[in-house]
Chains A and B, each alone.
Chain A
Amino acid sequence: MLAGFFMLTSCGSALQVSDDGGKISALDGLERVIELKQPAQRIVSLSPSVTETLYAIGAGGQVVGRDSFSNYPAEALQVQDVGGSMGGYSYETIASLQPDLVIAGEINTPEQVKALEDLGLKVFYLSNPVKLDSISVMITSVGILTGRDKEAKALNASLEKRIKAVTDLAATAADRPLVFYELDGSGPGNPWTPGPGTFLSELIAAAGGVNAGDALQSAWAQISSEQLLVQDPDIILLGDSIYGMTVEQVAARAGWSGLTAVQENRIYPFNDDLVSRPGPRLVDGLEELARLLHPELYE
């Protein structure tokens, strides 16, 4: 019985949503069928990617609560904060908002989902998309849950078009620069970087580059300075610039002055929120990456 279950979860991350005659029933990421009598009108979002998706499909007015990390778009900041930055949500604040739907993300633990359900709330657990082309599945689900199917469809079409524009252009590039993306360089001897199989790895490839972290084993890993000197990246992107890392600090690191990226001044701060949240802004991140990797194509 257990074995059968594991098969289900390992392949069951895709979402299925159906909408017949006003009633909505949807299969969520925890393999449960969630039923709504009508599209959700009072939504609490527990993750930034969900919040950004809700606003992107015009459902922002239906959001009554959001987690502390949800800082985009600016209107979301006006909505009641329900906690979450240190792992704990204020369940009583969520209950007091009387939401008709709580959308949880992979950032949430099953224990948190259970705690909310015990309060009699409807919780939809939204699995993260794992590939660029599966964001559309997530957007479609959120669209159906909120009665914004048409907007979701339009958003998907425009995102698809923008992704195609970038990849088509990248295919014409003469070279594929080696990119080192720094997630956290507070220990400059071995900074954290995205490894193979991550969204960042896929985005850098789609933007016409090669991710230096692909040489590592784990999805999120520390790369040694030595390894970096051997690989000699052409471009360094500072995802940790939002935490205060600067181009000057990186250029001044011991042994880094010989790197091609440092000598050619190709170190750029990068808005990590664009690429760390699996929502519609990933495409903004992709376009930004493409412009930094291949400025010659965007002149």
Chain B
Amino acid sequence: MKKRGLLNPFGISVLLLLAAVVLSVVVGSVTIPLRTLADVLFRGLQGGLSTLDPGGVYLKIIMQLRLPHAILILLVGAALAGSGAAYQGLFRNPLADPFLIGVSSGAGLGAVLAMLIDWPYAPLGLMVIPLAAFLGAALAVLAVSLLARVGKTVPTTNLILAGVAVSSFASAVTSGLMINSSGELRRALVWLLGGATRAGWEPVLAILPFMVIGLTGLVLVGHPLNVLQFGEEQAQQLGIRVQRVKWITVLLATISTAAAVAFAGIIGFVGLVVPHIMRLLYGGDYRRLIPLSILGGGAMLLLMDVAARTVMAPQEVPVGIITSLFGAPFFLWVLKRSKSQNYW
């Protein structure tokens, strides 16, 4: 079964991811010919300017806009798809996505609350909204977990239902605040639609630690999630500490998606669909499914983002619109093509 060389699922995913990063850096509303791009990068690495780019504008576009943006999008896609895969395993539910238990609505409420105040135009003031979104997401998940608790255990059904209730409540408060505000509406809408309005390296550096911890952890819970597929009681008998696995998975998924949402807004569909595509292609072993989803999520969101930046250039369409617009038909195509009757 196992193929050698690069032609195994991981090799293919890594190659696809690298190709997506390159494409993301090459394509943009300003056309930079490949030869110029290569020369600009080559000279730039030596600390100089290319003769083809005397003003340094291309270098600035590549190093301060496209490259950090590509890495941010990669991390966000990876976090959403990795968390989605883990949640589908934890809840044993094909409809589970990273926003299932309140991350998106909590983040939305946190961000909109922070937008009601006029923060100083300073580095710290500009960090307030992502920080509020992160805290909102974390608090929403904490509230859901506490509300769903029965004694010392958290029944999965309770977790999902409490998640739905808390999400609805938080969304209602968010909408109410937005309707009643006047000036911030636009800013809030841009944010909620998944428009990454910050550019440069700061957002990348800010979310990197959360991503490293969250994604590494998620890769490691693959084995217990596999065992959990037999049912909670069985898993317990097989030596898995089910409650602990639940808490850890929720914690890891929450810190990575909350960090993603804080800077990139709410991007739908990637976290739901990428794990299913990987499952259809490579099977349901969570030890492989989670890392493959992380790689595939990064690649898929990068490609969607390239589309978002080019379909209406120089308009930039919020990537959240593109993920659902292109993601849904693509997923249906994969689903139709799959031979297995019951892949889940």
Contact = CB atoms under 8 A, between A and B. Distances in A.
Nearest to B120: A5
Given A32-B121, A86-B315, A109-B187, A91 B65 contact: yes
A251 B315 CA distance: 37
A9 interface: yes
B317 A114 contact: no
A283 interface: no
B199 A83 contact: no
Given A87-B318, A93-B314, A98-B55, A218 B182 contact: yes
Contacts of B29: 83, 90, 92-93
Contacts of B180: 218
Contacts of A68: 315
B233 interface: no
Interface string B170-212: 0000000000101100110110010101111000000000000
B28 A92 contact: yes
Contacts of A10: 118
A95 B65 contact: yes
Contacts of A91: 65, 199
Nearest to A121: B60
Contacts of A31: 121
B126 interface: yes
A5 B119 CA distance: 9
Interface string B115-148: 0001111000110010000000000000000000
B120 A87 contact: no
| A82, A93, A219, most chain B CB atoms within 10 A | A93
B316 interface: yes
Contacts of A30: 121
B313 A90 contact: yes
A55 interface: no
Given A92-B28, A93-B29, A95-B61, A83 B121 contact: no
A88 B197 contact: yes
Given A5-B120, A30-B121, A109-B187, A85 B198 contact: no
A106 interface: yes
B58 to A, nearest CB: 8
Interface residues of A, number: 41
A51 to B, nearest CB: 16
A6 interface: yes
B316 A83 contact: yes
B57 interface: yes
Given A106-B183, A109-B190, A88 B313 contact: no
Nearest to B129: A111
Contact of B316 (A9, A90, A96, A98): A90
A9 B117 CA distance: 11
Contacts of B129: 111
Contacts of A87: 186, 189-190, 193, 195, 197, 318
Given A110-B121, A111-B197, A114-B198, A89 B57 contact: no
| A88, A90, A220, most chain B CB atoms within 10 A | A88
| A2, A98, A112, A118, most chain B CB atoms within 10 A | A118
Given A68-B315, A106-B183, A114-B126, A92 B197 contact: no
Nearest to B263: A111
Interface in B41-62: 55, 57, 60-61
A44 to B, nearest CB: 12
Contacts of A113: 121
A81 interface: yes
A115 B316 contact: no
A107 interface: yes
B66 interface: yes
18 contacts: A9-B118, A82-B314, A83-B314, A86-B195, A86-B318, A87-B195, A87-B197, A87-B318, A88-B190, A88-B195, A90-B314, A90-B316, A93-B314, A95-B65, A107-B186, A115-B197, A118-B200, A120-B60
List 8 A-B pairs, minimum CB-CB distance, nearest first: A88-B316, A87-B190, A115-B199, A90-B314, A111-B197, A30-B121, A83-B314, A90-B29
Interface of A: 2, 5-6, 9-10, 30-32, 68, 80-93, 95-96, 98, 106-107, 109-115, 118-120, 218-220
Given A86-B318, A90-B29, A106-B183, 18 more contacts: A2-B120, A32-B121, A83-B313, A86-B193, A86-B315, A87-B190, A87-B193, A87-B195, A88-B195, A88-B316, A110-B121, A111-B198, A114-B121, A115-B197, A115-B200, A118-B64, A119-B199, A120-B60
